[in-house]
Amino acid sequence: MASVRAQPWAALEADNLTSLAELTETNLLKAIEERYRAGLIYTAVGDILVAVNPFQELLMYDGAWSGAYAATDVSGLAPHIYRVASAAYNSMVQGKKNQVCVISGESGAGKTESAKFIMKQVMNMCSSAGLGLKLQQKIIQLNPLLEAFGNARTELNDNSSRFGKFIQLLFESSGRIVGAGLEQYLLEKSRVCVQTEKERNFHIFYYLYAGLPQEKKAQLHLKGPEHHRYLRTYCQLTKDCSSEDSREAFSAVLESMESIGFSSSEVDQIITLLAAILHIGDIEFVSSEEGGGDSATVRNPEVVETVSQLLCLESSAEVSFALTTLRTVTRGEPVDKLYSCSKAAVVRDAAAKALYSRMFQWIVSRINTHLQPRDNYSRSKLSVTEDHLNIGILDIFGFENFEANSFEQFCINLANEQLQQYFNHQIFAMEKLECAKEGVDDLDISYTDNTPVIDLFLARPIGLLCLLDEQCKGLNGSEKAFVQRSRESFNKHQCFAPHRGNALEFTISHYAGDVSSDINHEGMLHLIQIWSS
């Protein structure tokens, strides 16, 4: 006879897969699939929560569910993201120990939504009045702002996080929230300049077009979105730049910034900078007769003038010079070398990416300023004093494998390998150690150790990142030389497979699958060209 839950959140033995008679990969996957088909998206495997994205709204996150999981003991409750949040909060308050929630999974698995639910439940459990309540509201308002500037539509996910974030919630020993901090990692800067037809730039550019009044667009010299190179690739451009959803999203971003504490002047500066970035992408180059050969000169100086005006720069000529000329100093004398048209285009895109990245860092810095505790606590580093406890929430992109994988996927997948190694250590290695302490010596726990692939990336002096760094800093660095050095160094490595012929590609065997990296792809090419110039 099947077990029946007294309440929808009451636990059953079958909720935890450690109750299975035989713990094999096949049995685990089968049990998770059966539960998913029965409408149970959450499953426990020991102390770990497995969540399967339902790709639909579910009625299991309202006040009743939140209240049920707000108990001081959640051991008798069914697996749920609220249970993770409540367990972290209760352990922090009762045990006076800092906690961290690590959220991992492939792109589109629902990591960002899970992070939101954890924050929501923790905020509900530490309900405060006065300044505490205002701080809670600010923290909740983080999501619309961060998603607008850090998320984008990809082939796998309409709201994919294109950066990693670590949010730290700070509490008094009583459990009252006193502040928060945010660190961001690996912003996918190349998306500012390059997207495929089925993918979009960062959300904020489309929200900007849908939400700004026409007179403001005119002040910023913004034409139709199809006229800007950084936006025109997307196949549904006109629709997305005028939709009601985008207009509402832009309003939500403005409300979020106001709630957190951004001034109207700061908001206007951000909007102006976004427009300047779009105009930078429209700067074009032609070969100059004066420089000879393929030496570049700006084809449309009026666009440079617009960029200079928006960035409050005194001279558009200096901007043109910076985009077309490499100046070095030899024996105290400046030496100028004109870029080729292709190199100037790389420099132009590098400038746009750098501006967007610096703007994003500045937004995060301002968020931290407005969310810091009102005492002598330092926000220069996300470390805590004896007077504060904290709950950390790590939300970083999942493993990625596309048709063309660039430097971003190179870094993202390395980060996921390191997270996987952390899980392996916590789940398997520590479990074996604990069993050994209890005298259970014959326990057979096998798992795949991914140390070799991490060493492939990080080993010194010979690792993929060291070799890439070598080519980036060398005067004659090139993609071809990087691939050749990699082949020579890792020809017999178990996780590295060079491609045949002269193709500038190789395949890395990750824990989640084989990934082929195209070194000629835009991201990797830009990295090497910018550094070697």
* DSSP letter for each residue of 283-330: --EEE-TTT-TTBEEES-HHHHHHHHHHTT-S-HHHHHHHHHEEEEEE
Question: In the structure, what pLDDT confidence band is assigned to residue 446 with cuts at 50, 70 and 90?
Answer: low
The two tokens of residue 375 are 């005492």
- The DSSP secondary structure of 90-114, one letter per residue, reads HHHHHH---EEEEE--STTSSHHHH
Known binding positions for ATP: 105-112
- Binding-site residues sit at 105-112
Q: Virtual CA dihedral for 120, 123, 129, 133, nearest 10 degrees?
A: -60
Confidence of residue 141 (pLDDT cuts 50, 70, 90): confident
- Its pTM stands at 0.85
Other beta carbons within 10 angstroms of residue 437's beta carbon come to: 8
Q: Which of 50-64, 384-398, 494-508 has the lowest mean pLDDT?
A: 384-398
Strand partners, 164: 185
Q: What is each CA distance from 451 to 89, 118, 193, 495, in whole angstroms?
A: 33, 31, 34, 10
How far apart are alpha carbons 387 and 402 in whole angstroms? Answer: 46
Tell me where in the chain the CATH 3.40.850.10 domain(s) lie: 13-190+376-395
Residue 382 has pLDDT above 70, yes or no: no
Residues that are catalytic: 107-108, 112, 157, 160-161, 398, 400
212: left (phi over 0), alpha (psi -120 to 50) or beta: beta
pLDDT for 329-354, tens place per residue?
A: 778 888 888 999 988 998 999 999 99
pLDDT at 131: 63
Residue 294: is it exposed, middle or buried by C-beta count within 10 angstroms (0-12/13-18/19+)?
middle
Give start-end residues of each CATH 1.20.58.530 domain in the chain.
Answer: 407-532
CATH 1.20.58.530 for the 407-532 domain, yes or no: yes
Q: What strands, in cross-sheet order, belong to the sheet with 505-510?
A: 496-498, 505-510, 513-518
Assigned CATH class of 13-190+376-395: alpha beta
pLDDT tens digits, residue range 489-525? 999 999 999 988 888 889 999 988 999 988 876 545 5
CA–CA separation, 23 vs 443, rounded Å? 13
Q: Is the pLDDT of residue 289 over 80?
A: no
Asked if residue 368 lies in contact with residue 313, where contact means CB atoms within 8 angstroms, the answer is no
**Section 174-190 average pLDDT:** 90
Q: What is the pLDDT of residue 293?
A: 65
Residue pLDDT, tens place only, 194-232: 888 888 999 999 999 999 999 999 999 999 899 999 998
User: C-alpha distances in angstroms, 473 versus 468, 470, 517, 528?
Assistant: 9, 6, 21, 8
pLDDT of residue 472 exceeding 50: yes
Q: What is the dihedral angle through the alpha carbons of 13, 15, 20, 25, rounded to the nearest 10 degrees?
A: -170
